[in-house]
A and B are shown apart, each in its own frame.
Chain A
Amino acid sequence: MVLVSAVRDYINRMLQDISGMKVLLLDSYTVSVVSVAYSQSELLQKEVFLVELIGSKSKESMSHLKAVFFLRPTTENIQYLRRQLASPRFAEYHLFFSNILNDTQIHILADSDEQEVVKQVQEFYADFVAIDPYHFTLNVQSNHIYMLPVVMDPSSLQNYCDCVVDGIAAVFLALKRRPVIRYQRTSDVAKRIAQETANLMYQKETGLFDFRRAEISPLLLVVDRRDDPITPLLNQWTYQAMVHELIGIQDNKVDLRSIGKISKDQQEVVLSSEQDVFFKSNMYENFGDLGMNIKRMVDEFQQVAKSNQNIQTIEDMAKFVDNYPEYRKMQGNVSKHVTMVTEMSKIVEERKLMLVSQTEQDLACNGGQVATFEAVTNFLNDESVSDIDCLRLVMLYALRFEKENPLQIMQLFNKLSSRSSKYKPGLVQFLLKQAGVDKRTGDLYGNRDLLNIARNMARGLKGIENVYTQHQPLLFQTMENLTKGRLRDVDYPFVGNHFQQGRPQDVVIFVVGGTTYEEARAVALQNATNSGIRFILGGSVVLNSKRFLKDLEEAQRIVRSSTNAI
């Protein structure tokens, strides 16, 4: 509950001290922050009767309302406020900023507030989108930038880093802790972000981060997405991850309009573990179990519906009226989940994902080279397998057998490019260049040291429960190492001279380049085991394979155009 409740508390505190009718003004980012944690009806209870995006062109003067602004302290927002304050529309202005304001910004605001309508200026550090209790994202724009080398586009990389650093800082301010910071050695961008964060927390704003707590400091671990490129490439079979992979989740919202004709009230649905009990208990279940649970829910619902049908006495009527809201809610929920699962199984059927995914998992976990090569070639020859699946298979194969057999990989490249011209042939090579074996720190396939090889073999002997969910993300290993205190200092060095004393109780793992819901699931399951360490996962975005490939493509395009220019 940590992250979501922190944001909720912030919003509560923002609204409760201001009496009377209010209007809440948000920018395009804080809308996401607020809407994943708070609902419209709750806002109404706090007497917020209008929510507005800043920059909308409305000019109506509403002097009977008090304005509550919750904005990021960006230059554009400050300029907007300046214009607002010059000719105020509302009776009072309460300004809340989601991050640290600098003195010039306050100066500018004070300068433009000639009529003294501003009642308070506060910093409330809810600068992250808390999609699940232990999972947050920063929804960074143009996420591909982290893959570019520094010299390519220094200013936008700087923007990217600032954005991420601000987000991380806000998370720790919300938790009221100052962490020790470690980063992944082989990644430049992770190192840079770690150092800038440390600079902010220990030098620039040292007073703000000084909470005078005697406990052991928490740990911030900054890792790079490219250390584990296979997780975002795999097909997923647990509910939340699967929805994101096949349909796409944006701020806990699923847009079903793209899939086809669906009744009007189901075109966009909410999948929030906070509000939906069924989703909460099933978000980490695999597809088969999910089907069973949905069937049970439908049966239950049918029973309720039947009991609602035979109304004979007035008492029945009264009971029906009493239960009606509950009934309607249940109905909406049932049809939502049923629609979703139906749509997903349709997609699975269409794209032959059962077969594809089996090979994917083989590539990710076991890796019998001959067998998988054959399988991948077969898929490439099969017309009914979609292009994106083929591309992913080739990528997985290339990542796995990068050093073992370059010849076969070349064969696959040729096949892929002859099959579709949509994906430029260089994309797989670009991925290898970005996330190849030389760039990685972690032991992605568990074949670098003897211990891991032995463990893998033991797992193979034990047998696997489910072929489709046998892959464990690298993050799982990292967490295990952290709990046992075995994460090597050489690979994940500390920033500055702030070292860990004892085992941390809170660990925030930030993945530069984006997290996946599979990793979020691993974190949630790890937290459920009560190992004494609480993990929080964060990333610049939440990836699915489509998004990951798009980022890759974008980065490749920029790199190529700049090398052409030179």
Chain B
Amino acid sequence: MATRNRTLLFKKHRDALKSVRASSISSSSSSGGPVIELVSTSLLHPNRSYTPLSTEDPGSSSRDALTIGLPPAWVDVSEEITANMQCARTKMAELFKAHAKALMPSFGDGKEDQQMIEVLTQEITDLLKRSEKRLLKLSASGPSEDSNVRKNVQRFLATDLQNLSVELRKKQSAYLKHLRQQKEGQNGVDLEMNLNDKSKVEDDDFIDMGFNDYQMAKLKKREAFTLEREREIRQVVESVNELAQIMKDLSVLVIDQGTIVDRIDYNIQNVAATVEEGYKQLQKAERTQRKGGMVMCATVLVIMCFIMLVLLILKEIFL
């Protein structure tokens, strides 16, 4: 693992050459940091290009572009997602602490802990969902390099996001399991279910005698109860579905490790192939476009001929 750093030597050469150059041109910047250098050259250029006798530097435009060049808009999006995820991460740490605290035996009824956990979970899920939505916006079409970069950024963030959500789910299920164990330890069997069953039997006994008010009220209550339950179940199913959807969306983006898609050289070849393909498509498009123009031109000419002919005939007839 030996390495050799040649930067010093390189810089020495560079500085030496620069001083040579400076003395030969006579008007040049001092040996400052690279940033200053850039700014000063870009300031110098306009002056130079306005002097009519200037014969040098056709590459000034690229230099100016370099100094001005702002990152494209998607960089902000990716930064936002990163920030979101960072936020989610800290929240998750809090959540785990809250989990641990809630699981500890305490004298209070733990309502506050519960509430806090609920709020935190909600927040984290929201953050993750939002990040995921933003992430889908990152994708770009077209075989250009920029879109490639975007795709890779997207992949990177997707992997991160997936890891995060998997972690969240694992912790949550572990927490629920603990909770259930504690509850079972406390009151053994689920009393409510037993009661329900018993009352059901009673109901069946009375069913052919007609309903009295008490029974009607009871029925109503139970109906409401069932509705409530159904709603809850639906909610759970919905959240599970949502989660599955997120997983599916992400898994399209995430690379399987150890497969050919994960190979660097394969990806490069792929890029080259797609770029070539894109170029071909472009050529084709150009051809068709040109052809379209020609056809248009011909049509116009034909129409003009026709009109002229009509005019000629009219002229022959009327004059």
Contact = CB atoms under 8 A, between A and B. Distances in A.
Interface of A: 6, 9-10, 13, 21, 23, 26, 31-32, 34-35, 38-41, 43-45, 47-53, 56, 58, 60-65, 86-88, 100-101, 103, 106-107, 109-111, 113-125, 173-176, 208, 211, 251, 253, 265, 268-270, 272, 275-276, 314, 317-318, 321-322, 324-325, 328-329, 332-333
B6 A121 contact: yes
B268 A208 contact: no
B54 interface: no
6 nearest interchain CB pairs? A64-B71, A110-B13, A63-B69, A35-B264, A275-B258, A49-B152
Given A31-B264, A121-B7, A276-B258, A50 B66 contact: no
Contact of B75 (A26, A64, A275): A64
A40 B152 CA distance: 9
A86 B57 CA distance: 11
B152 A44 contact: yes
A124 B265 contact: no
Contacts, number: 199
Contact of A328 (B1, B148, B256, B262): B256
A116 B255 contact: no
A113 B14 contact: yes
Nearest to A103: B9
A38 B264 contact: yes
Contacts of B170: 322
Interface of B: 1-7, 9-11, 13-14, 17-18, 21, 34, 37-38, 41, 59, 62-63, 65-66, 69-72, 75, 144-146, 148-149, 152-153, 155-156, 159, 166, 169-170, 173, 236-237, 240, 243-244, 247, 251, 254-268, 271-272, 275
Contacts of A49: 149, 152-153, 156
Contacts of A175: 1
Given A106-B13, A116-B34, A275-B258, A60 B7 contact: no
A325 to B, nearest CB: 7
Contacts of A31: 264-265, 268
Given A39-B257, A329-B256, A60 B145 contact: yes
29 contacts: A9-B1, A10-B3, A35-B265, A40-B267, A44-B152, A44-B255, A51-B267, A51-B268, A62-B145, A63-B65, A63-B66, A86-B59, A106-B6, A110-B14, A115-B66, A121-B5, A121-B9, A121-B10, A174-B1, A211-B2, A265-B259, A268-B260, A268-B266, A270-B260, A275-B258, A314-B236, A317-B244, A318-B173, A325-B251
B72 A176 contact: no
Contacts of B236: 314
Contacts of A62: 145-146, 149
Contacts of A268: 260, 266
Given A253-B260, A269-B260, A53 B166 contact: no
Given A63-B71, A111-B13, A318-B240, A50 B156 contact: no
Contacts of B34: 115-117
A271 to B, nearest CB: 10
B13 A107 contact: yes
Contacts of B257: 39, 41, 275, 329
A516 B38 CA distance: 54
Given A60-B144, A62-B149, A270-B258, A10 B1 contact: yes
> Secondary structure of the A side of the interface?
mixed
B155 to A, nearest CB: 6
Contact of A40 (B71, B263, B275): B263
Nearest to A275: B258
A253 B62 CA distance: 40
Contacts of A88: 62, 66
Given A64-B70, A208-B4, 19 more contacts: A31-B265, A41-B155, A50-B148, A52-B271, A56-B275, A63-B71, A86-B59, A115-B34, A116-B14, A118-B10, A120-B5, A122-B5, A174-B2, A253-B260, A314-B240, A322-B170, A324-B247, A329-B258, A332-B258
A155 B187 CA distance: 89
Contacts of B265: 31-32, 35, 251, 253
Most buried by A among B4, B11, B34, B62: B4
Most buried by A among B2, B169, B251, B255: B2
Given A39-B257, A270-B258, A122 B7 contact: yes
Contacts of A43: 264
B4 A122 contact: yes
A253 B260 CA distance: 8
Contacts of A115: 34, 37-38, 41, 63, 66
Nearest to A34: B264
A61 B263 contact: no
A372 B14 CA distance: 70
Contact of A208 (B2, B146, B259): B2
Contact of B159 (A44, A116, A119): A44
A41 B255 CA distance: 7
A343 to B, nearest CB: 16
Nearest to A270: B260
B170 to A, nearest CB: 7
Contacts of A317: 240, 244
A311 to B, nearest CB: 11
A64 B150 CA distance: 12
Given A53-B272, A314-B240, A329-B256, A6 B145 contact: no
Most buried by A among B149, B155, B255: B149
Contacts of A265: 259-260
A321 B6 contact: no
A88 B155 CA distance: 27
Most buried by B among A64, A116, A268: A116
A413 B20 CA distance: 71
Contact of B4 (A26, A53, A123): A123
A207 B106 CA distance: 69
Contacts of B271: 52
B2 A61 contact: no
Nearest to A65: B149
Contacts of B2: 125, 173-174, 176, 208, 211
Nearest to A174: B1
Nearest to A45: B156
B267 A87 contact: no
Contacts of B256: 325, 328-329, 332
Given A63-B71, A106-B9, A122-B4, A333 B258 contact: yes
B153 A21 contact: yes
Given A61-B66, A116-B14, A324-B247, A41 B3 contact: no
A97 B285 CA distance: 42
A108 to B, nearest CB: 9
Contacts of B65: 61, 63
